[in-house]
């Protein structure tokens, strides 16, 4: 019938799609949501994306993966397929088909097994791309509520998401196996995008079931959605049919290399996300919400007035995914989740709750002034992951390195009056980071208290010493030889580090000197990160001050 855009008179006519076809709709971009509600982008927390709050860290040097951009990828993607096979527990890499995300593989499967006159069944409600890909191929589609072989008898393809998006529910491998055995002429696609968060994989069944295809992705547990890497697992003859129909080189060289490295030594956020998912669900249940158990990285909350609730949250800068029957929440760092729970009337109230909140050692600081708007989400006991976007590249670099050394997780977004100069942004960011540290440490009970580090960087050398006792004092001596590194006036750094110290309520001494200002600053922030890591560590013996204060 119609394509996505109106066809101009005289323009070539696209292939028809059925009347039910509608293209995929992305969630509204952050900047548009902010503008709609008169907020700054930094004031918005996204719980709507089903991706981890922080990016996965590439395990091979970026320079290495970008070294051969004049060449095409190796088109069989052998390295990536071998890594995926080993990760998924499949002996033969010929069972693996790779694609630019699971979405690409959904399209390839539809292209391979669906056409006009063929039928696709969708176990709904579920991920909308199955429907879109099936309709693009002009297949007829029908939705069913449960995986039922009788209803699927005439289907060429059955799409099943397990655990399911958006409900988080899962089916057992036994149910899936008996369905696949009952309909040997039907291709059963089991999308395991969220399997790492608590699903039960059916990959071991593939060897015995030629009509089973399993989809996987690096977009969820691995935190690499921007790379666009997915893979399918099927028997070799099915895999060969799919590969024959994919484009010659759908995955870029950097994506394939980083993806293969990630699959070889997985570093995922699963544990933290599952803990927060279950905590959020328990808090919602306690507050009277209904909330099915979830085995994915999100929670579905059935609500009669879902749209109104989503609107209300959005106006406060809290974005959840809206559905006709409820809202879907993807956990972020603990401090962020507390902001959402409070907005849903499920915040912590009693002393025991407050003690539990303190034990999470996480804080979210949202601040707007006439000059800047910023948000900092900090989790002290993290993995050294950082997403820092201040608009000042060198400051981002310094805070990313400091976070890496500190072992915390940090999501920092700032928008300031950089058109005037960077003064306000630098100072406000460091001051708010100090606040976040102060809040995340709470009463500081049981911390090591002291930390120190010496960090050389080529000819430069920095020392940092930290005392978490609440007697704010800063001695910052950074011996720079010039005025700027990149977009950052170096004279701002000592003052900003002082603000950090005062807001956090620490004592901080930093000395750094060398010939190259970049090295001096970098060594100073790394040393501070390492000293903070030591000082913030929780000891079993409790507070260490002869005066009895923490
Ligand atoms: N499958 C499901 C069930 C999903 O929810 C999503 C993304 N939200 C995808 C696949 C897409 O994965 P990819 O990023 O690998 O294309």
The answer on pLDDT for 198 being more than 70 is: yes
Cβ–ligand 1 distance for 188 under 6 Å, the answer no
Dihedral (C-alpha) 350, 356, 358, 359: value to the nearest 10 degrees?
170
User: Which range is least confidently modeled, 188-202, 415-429, 467-481?
Assistant: 415-429
Structure tokens at 41: 């982008």
Distance 449 CA to ligand 1 centre (A): 44
What is the rounded CA–CA span in Å between residue 220 and residue 88? 15
Q: What is the mean pLDDT of the chain?
A: 93
Distance 168 CA to ligand 1 centre (A): 14
The answer on pLDDT for 416 being more than 50 is: yes
Chain centroid to CA 318: how far?
A: 16
pTM for the model stands at 0.90
Instruction: Give the nearest ligand 1 atom to 225 CA.
Output: 14
Look at the block and give the residue holding tokens 């006709």.
324
Distance 82 CA to ligand 1 centre (A): 22
Confidence (pLDDT) at 547: 46
Confidence (pLDDT) at 10: 81
Structure tokens at 231: 């893979």
Distance 228 CA to ligand 1 centre (A): 10
Radius of gyration of the chain (CA): 26
User: Which range is least confidently modeled, 130-144, 331-345, 404-418, 512-526?
Assistant: 404-418
Cβ–ligand 1 distance for 103 under 6 Å, the answer yes
Cβ–ligand 1 distance for 192 under 6 Å, the answer no
Question: What secondary structure does DSSP assign to 109-161, as a single string?
Answer: HHHHH--TT-EEEEESS--THHHHHHHHTT-EEEEESS--TTTTTT-SEEEEE
Confidence (pLDDT) at 8: 66
Cβ–ligand 1 distance for 191 under 6 Å, the answer yes
Cβ–ligand 1 distance for 102 under 6 Å, the answer yes
Distance 102 CA to ligand 1 centre (A): 6
Q: Alpha helix locations (H) across 487-547?
A: 492-504, 517-536
Chain centroid to CA 449: how far?
A: 32
Cβ–ligand 1 distance for 101 under 6 Å, the answer yes
Cβ–ligand 1 distance for 230 under 6 Å, the answer yes
Cβ–ligand 1 distance for 162 under 6 Å, the answer no
Cβ–ligand 1 distance for 193 under 6 Å, the answer yes
Q: Is 290 helix (H, G, I), strand (E, B) or coil?
A: coil
Confidence (pLDDT) at 4: 58
With a CB cutoff of 8 Å and minimum separation 6, the contacts of 29 are none
Distance 535 CA to ligand 1 centre (A): 40
What is the rounded CA–CA span in Å between residue 443 and residue 550? 7
Confidence (pLDDT) at 294: 98
E-state strands within 326-396: 326-329, 362-368, 372-379, 386-389
Q: What is the band of 544 on the pLDDT scale with cuts at 50, 70, 90?
A: very low
Question: What secondary structure does DSSP assign to 306-354, as a single string?
Answer: HHHHHHHHHHTTEE-EEETTEEEE----HHHHHHHHHHTT----SHHHH
Structure tokens at 432: 């708010």
Distance 80 CA to ligand 1 centre (A): 19
Nearest one of 133, 96, 130 to 111, comparing CA atoms = 133
The answer on pLDDT for 7 being more than 90 is: no
The answer on pLDDT for 339 being more than 50 is: yes
The share of the chain scoring above pLDDT 90, in percent, equals: 84
Cβ–ligand 1 distance for 298 under 6 Å, the answer no
**Cα–Cα–Cα angle for 32, 329, 55, rounded to 5 degrees:** 70
Average pLDDT value for residue range 413-423: 78
Q: What is the band of 104 on the pLDDT scale with cuts at 50, 70, 90?
A: very high
pLDDT digits (tens, 9 = 90+) for 274-330: 999 999 999 999 999 999 999 999 999 999 999 999 999 999 999 999 999 999 999
Cβ–ligand 1 distance for 197 under 6 Å, the answer no
What is the rounded CA–CA span in Å between residue 156 and residue 113? 7
Average pLDDT value for residue range 40-62: 91
Distance 390 CA to ligand 1 centre (A): 29
Furthest-apart CA pair in the chain: how many Å? 86
Q: Are strands 460-467 and 507-513 parallel, antiparallel or unpaired?
A: antiparallel
Structure tokens at 455: 């960090």
In degrees rounded to 5, what are phi and psi of residue 125?
-70, 145
Best residue for ligand 1 mutational test, from 101, 110, 170, 246 (most atoms within 8 Å of Cβ): 101
What is the rounded CA–CA span in Å between residue 344 and residue 339? 9
**Is the distance from CB of 448 to CB of 377 less than 8 angstroms?**
no
**Is the distance from CB of 159 to CB of 129 less than 8 angstroms?**
no
Confidence (pLDDT) at 73: 96
pLDDT digits (tens, 9 = 90+) for 126-184: 999 999 999 999 999 999 999 999 999 999 999 999 999 999 999 999 999 999 999 99
Confidence (pLDDT) at 262: 97
Distance 193 CA to ligand 1 centre (A): 6
Cβ–ligand 1 distance for 107 under 6 Å, the answer no
Beta bridge partner(s), residue 463: 454, 511
Cβ–ligand 1 distance for 50 under 6 Å, the answer yes
In degrees rounded to 5, what are phi and psi of residue 214?
-110, 135
Cβ–ligand 1 distance for 252 under 6 Å, the answer no
Distance 461 CA to ligand 1 centre (A): 46
Best residue for ligand 1 mutational test, from 103, 130, 162, 197 (most atoms within 8 Å of Cβ): 103
The share of the chain scoring above pLDDT 70, in percent, equals: 96
Average pLDDT value for residue range 440-449: 93
CA atoms within 13 A on the CB side of 170: 24
Structure tokens at 55: 């990016």
Distance 192 CA to ligand 1 centre (A): 9
Average pLDDT value for residue range 352-361: 85
Cβ–ligand 1 distance for 255 under 6 Å, the answer no
Distance 46 CA to ligand 1 centre (A): 17
Structure tokens at 464: 């940092």
Instruction: Give the nearest ligand 1 atom to 230 CA.
Output: 15
The answer on pLDDT for 549 being more than 60 is: no
Instruction: Give the nearest ligand 1 atom to 105 CA.
Output: 16
Instruction: Give the nearest ligand 1 atom to 229 CA.
Output: 15
Nearest one of 544, 536, 550, 540 to 379, comparing CA atoms = 536
pLDDT digits (tens, 9 = 90+) for 456-506: 999 999 999 999 988 999 999 999 999 999 989 999 999 999 999 999 999
What is the residue with the minimal CA distance to atom 6 of ligand 1?
193
């Amino acid at each position: 019938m119609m394509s996505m855009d109106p066809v101009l008179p005289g323009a070539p006519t696209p292939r028809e799609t059925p009347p039910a076809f509608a293209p995929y709709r992305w969630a509204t971009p952050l900047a548009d949501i902010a503008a709609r509600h008169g907020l700054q982008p930094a004031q918005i927390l996204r719980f709507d994306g089903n991706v981890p709050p922080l990016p996965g860290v590439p395990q091979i040097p970026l320079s290495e993966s970008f070294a051969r951009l004049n060449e095409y990828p190796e088109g069989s993607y052998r390295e990536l397929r071998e890594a995926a096979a080993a990760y998924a527990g499949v002996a033969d890499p010929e069972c693996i088909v790779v694609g630019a995300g699971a979405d690409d593989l959904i399209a390839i499967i539809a292209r391979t097994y669906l056409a006009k006159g063929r039928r696709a069944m969708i176990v709904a409600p579920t991920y909308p791309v199955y429907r879109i890909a099936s309709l693009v191929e002009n297949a007829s589609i029908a939705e069913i509520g449960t995986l039922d072989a009788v209803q699927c008898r005439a289907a060429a393809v059955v799409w099943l998401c397990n655990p399911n998006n958006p409900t988080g529910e899962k089916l057992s491998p036994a149910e899936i196996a008996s369905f696949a055995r009952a309909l040997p002429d039907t291709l059963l696609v089991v999308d395991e995008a969220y399997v790492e968060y608590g699903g039960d994989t059916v990959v071991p069944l593939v060897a015995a079931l030629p009509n089973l295809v399993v989809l996987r992705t690096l977009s969820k547990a691995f935190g690499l959605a921007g790379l666009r890497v997915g893979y399918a697992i099927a028997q070799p003859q099915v895999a060969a049919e799919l590969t024959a129909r994919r484009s010659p080189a759908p995955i870029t060289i950097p994506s394939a290399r980083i993806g293969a490295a990630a699959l070889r030594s997985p570093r995922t956020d699963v544990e933290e996300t599952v803990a927060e998912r279950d905590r959020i669900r328990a808090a919602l249940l306690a507050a009277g919400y209904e909330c099915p158990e979830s085995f994915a990285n999100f929670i579905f909350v059935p609500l009669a007035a879902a749209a109104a609730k989503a609107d209300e949250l959005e106006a406060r800068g809290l974005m959840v995914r809206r559905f006709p029957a409820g809202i879907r929440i993807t956990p972020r760092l603990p401090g962020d989740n507390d902001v959402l729970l409070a907005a849903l009337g499920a915040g912590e109230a009693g002393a025991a709750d407050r003690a539990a909140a303190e034990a999470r050692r996480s804080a979210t600081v949202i601040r707007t002034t006439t000059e800047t708007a910023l948000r900092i989400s900090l989790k002290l006991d993290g993995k050294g992951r950082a997403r820092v976007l201040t608009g000042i590249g060198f400051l981002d670099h310094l805070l990313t390195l400091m976070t890496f050394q500190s072992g915390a997780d940090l999501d920092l977004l700032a928008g300031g009056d950089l058109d005037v100069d960077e003064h306000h942004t630098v100072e406000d960011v460091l001051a708010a980071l100090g606040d976040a540290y102060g809040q995340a440490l709470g009463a500081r009970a049981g911390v090591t208290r002291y930390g120190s580090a010496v960090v050389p960087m080529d000819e430069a050398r920095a020392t940092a010493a930290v005392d978490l006792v609440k007697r704010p004092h800063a001695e910052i001596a950074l011996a720079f030889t010039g005025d700027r590194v990149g977009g950052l006036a170096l004279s701002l750094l000592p003052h900003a580090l002082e603000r950090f110290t005062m807001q956090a309520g620490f004592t901080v001494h930093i000395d750094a000197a060398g010939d190259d200002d970049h090295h001096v600053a970098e060594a100073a922030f790394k040393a501070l990160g390492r000293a903070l890591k030591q000082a913030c560590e929780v000891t079993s013996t409790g507070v260490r001050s002869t005066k009895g204060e923490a």
